Amino acid sequence: MKTRKLRNIEVSAVGMGCMGFTHAYGKAPEEKEAIRLVHRAFDRGCTFFDTAEMYSFFKNEEFVGKALKELPRDRVVISDKFWPKPLPGQAMPEGKLSEAGIRQSIEGSLQRLQTDYIDLYTEHQMEDGSEEQVAYVMGLLIKEGKIRGWGQSSPSAGQIRKANTITPITAIQSEYSMMERKWEKDLLPLCRELGIGFVAFSPMGNGFLSGKYTPSDKFQGDDVRRVITRFSPENMEANQPLLDLVHRYADRKGCTAAQISLAWVLKGGDFIVPIPGMRSESRITENLGAADIELTDEEYAALTAALDKIEIHGDRDGKDIAKLGTVPDSVDR
């Protein structure tokens, strides 16, 4: 697979978001099958795997650790995130974002991931005023070899600039897709200016842009689409013009709607790396295959201009997701 660089870290052009292997999208595959799927993605060229300590409260990290331990460590890139507030079982009297708190977090993550270093370590949802302290500690961890680079999740432009002057940021992680484009005004240009990578989660609008769901579909259990407003029947119907547009371009390029959605994200800049979830063999083939779908400059400009004219109904809001009771407060994925 083609590769890209998040500042100095080389990764596959399309990464794998691993959250869905333990929660948030309904019934997950059995662990043995899930590990097989991770290995299958690796065999097809995927080297970038994303997790977080708060996904299923540490269980997702444990899963990723089991899945990756059988693969060559120097050929996989682990992206992990630490929550800004203590999670169950974390006693941190000095605060989660103190040096002691961050060190406690990373030591726990290293143990669960069964590795002695994390490639990309990201503050998962920014706390106002924390950026300079966190950046300083990240610099220490880089010097100690515990991490190769660090990042911020859904920060403001001001938070990026402050932190980047202390310890250069490797990558920003935020939602980015045809359905969520707010970062185009400031964060994406800033990342390009400062040489910072951009990791795009939910690059297919939580699966909506795959075109595989209908207003009559029912989502069960801890599936976040039960509460994400873009998946309400009325909003799915209202967003049909977007799917029609995506399908037209997919037909022209001889690919799927999901692949066009990912190809559009990739075309936005060589510093952008989408991390869709993929929990079946067919989705792995489809999503990773998007790296081979190339939109011309003219196609990208025309598609983007058409997107500009379409109103998006509903969104993906952390407060809505929290209603499921599967995550604390809100979640950036």
Return the H-helix or E-strand segment holding 144: helix 131-144
Instruction: Tell whether 217 is covered by a domain.
Output: no
**Residue-number span of the structural domain to which 140 is assigned:** 3-207+266-293
Return the H-helix or E-strand segment holding 101: helix 99-113
- What was the pLDDT predicted at 78? 98
* Rounded Cα distance, 146 and 269, in Å: 29
Alpha helices in 203-322 (DSSP H): 233-238, 240-253, 257-267, 281-289, 297-308, 318-321
Q: Tokens representing 64?
A: 């990723």
CATH number of the domain enclosing 21? 3.20.20.100
The rounded percent of the chain whose pLDDT value lies above 70 is 95
Q: Tokens representing 72?
A: 């060559």
Sheet of 16-17, strand order: 16-17, 48-50, 77-82, 118-123, 147-153, 171-175, 197-201, 272-274
Q: What digits encode the pLDDT tens for the residues 34-82?
A: 999 999 999 999 999 999 999 999 999 999 999 999 999 999 999 999 9
Residues 212-224 have a mean pLDDT of: 87
Instruction: Tell whether 150 is covered by a domain.
Output: yes
* Rounded Cα distance, 185 and 140, in Å: 32
- What was the pLDDT predicted at 327? 46
Residues 90-112 have a mean pLDDT of: 95
Residues 209-229 have a mean pLDDT of: 89
Instruction: Tell whether 279 is covered by a domain.
Output: yes
Residues 80-95 have a mean pLDDT of: 92
Residues 192-200 have a mean pLDDT of: 98
Instruction: Tell whether 306 is covered by a domain.
Output: no
- Positions marked active-site: 55
Buried b (16+ CB within 10 A) or exposed e, 83-121: bbebbeebebeebbbbeebbbbbbebbbebbebebbbbb
- What was the pLDDT predicted at 201? 97
Residue 130: phi and psi, rounded to 5, are -95, -15
- Counting the structural domains of the chain, the total is 1
Buried b (16+ CB within 10 A) or exposed e, 135-154: bebbeebbeeebbbbbbbbb
Residue 4's SS3 state is strand
Return the H-helix or E-strand segment holding 37: helix 31-43
Instruction: Tell whether 110 is covered by a domain.
Output: yes
Residues 193-204 have a mean pLDDT of: 98
Instruction: Tell whether 85 is covered by a domain.
Output: yes
The mean pLDDT value of the chain amounts to 94
Return the H-helix or E-strand segment holding 48: strand 48-50
Instruction: Tell whether 159 is covered by a domain.
Output: yes
Instruction: Tell whether 78 is covered by a domain.
Output: yes
